[in-house]
Amino acid sequence: MFSFIWSFVPTSYFIPEWLTLDTNPVDSLLQGLVGACGISMLCSLMRVHLFLEAESSSEKNDKETSVQTTPSPQRKPGLTGLLHFFLVTGVLAVVGSRVSSLVVLEFCLRGVSGWVTAGPESNKFLQQLLVQSQFSLGCALSCSLCFLHEGASHRWLCLLLAAALSWFLARQATLLLHHVLALYKLHSSQRYCGICISLLTSGRCLLPMLCRAMIITFSVAVVAAIAIINKHFLSATEALRFWTPLTICYTLLVVYMQEEQHRLPGSQAVLNTVTVRLGGLLVLMLTVGRWADVLHILVCFLGEASCLVPTMDLLDSASSEEEEDYTEYVNRQRQRRPQAQQKAHQS
């Protein structure tokens, strides 16, 4: 129905072809809504996870350390949070499926290489990676829906159902966060709330659950991304001419970003990483891409900023936990050295 109505709009007379959306505007808006709901649910569950970690560490140390490690419990006001949500929705709706696919492939390559090189610090790396994956997650959901519903007769209805389900899950995650921030300490001590007791006993499973969900989401998105990108090529030579510089560019960017993350603080390294990888992708699209791709990458800068800037407290929390773990390790080593020296003198 929407496609029939949209076919009568004379866009070709007023708007250049490279400025038009890849799909129906209603479909693009619903896909962006699903992506924004996924980002909202990820942020809420990450805040719950970091709050539970801070509470468990404060109980072990018998002192109040939750103020240092817990993300700020003050949520964005209702109107501000709603405007931010619709801003992310609009950005994801405008970004085309082709650029969304490129963002997904870049994030997967960066995530796999970082996880391989993280070693024993993989737990903290996963926390930081989940926070950094917000816009990439929205792009993954968007391009996956575009691929899975391509050619469907009632595509808008399927997307509407998916958007309604996503909105419900995101709302439940937000309510869970509000409940935990306000009542977890009381309910976990009194042990009469089923939600808080479940989080108290099995709260450690929250991060592995998020990781498994992200792996499944991005696995589907990678297949969809490769299919969407290859759809625009007419021959294998043209595809090879695109994939070769893309692979080389991504590999060099991953190596550079790994060095930057070890050299700079957490939040500053993340901002530099976003600028470098999107800037490199912009230069690549100027050489082998289309003008629509260049425009969509410029929109991606706004999308990354709108996702990362409000959640810098989550990155700082993960970085501070990593520093605290390193400090505890150093203190333990210092305590063991005098004991080892005493045993050596006694022997």
CB 53 within 8 A of CB 321: yes
Residue at 7 is within a domain: no
CB 54 within 8 A of CB 185: no
259 Cβ contact list (under 8 Å, min separation 6): none
Predicted TM-score (pTM) of this structure: 0.80
pLDDT recorded at residue 236: 64
Closest CA to 281 of 300, 261, 260: 300
Residue at 281 is within a domain: yes
Compute the distance between CA of residue 53 and CA of residue 64 in angstroms, rounded to an integer: 13
More confident residue, 134 or 274: 134
Residue at 213 is within a domain: yes
CB 97 within 8 A of CB 22: yes
Domain around 260: 24-341
Statement: residue 319 has pLDDT above 70 = no
For 204-216, write each residue's pLDDT tens digit.
Answer: 888 889 999 999 9
The dihedral region occupied by 95, where left means phi > 0, alpha psi between -120 and 50, and beta the remainder, is beta
Residue at 1 is within a domain: no
In the predicted model, what is the mean pLDDT of residues 96-104?
A: 86
Q: Which of 2-6, 105-109, 219-223 is least confident? A: 2-6
Mean pLDDT of the chain: 76
Residue at 3 is within a domain: no
How many domains is the chain built from?
Answer: 1
pLDDT recorded at residue 264: 55
pLDDT recorded at residue 21: 54
For 236-270, write each residue's pLDDT tens digit.
Answer: 676 677 777 777 766 776 666 666 665 555 566 67
Residue at 4 is within a domain: no
For 106-118, write each residue's pLDDT tens digit.
Answer: 888 878 877 777 6
Statement: residue 35 has pLDDT above 90 = yes
Compute the distance between CA of residue 178 and CA of residue 343 in angstroms, rounded to an integer: 52
Statement: residue 333 has pLDDT above 60 = no
In the predicted model, what is the mean pLDDT of residues 120-128?
A: 71
More confident residue, 277 or 217: 217
For 36-77, write each residue's pLDDT tens digit.
Answer: 999 999 999 999 988 888 887 776 665 544 444 444 444 555
Compute the distance between CA of residue 266 and CA of residue 288 in angstroms, rounded to an integer: 33
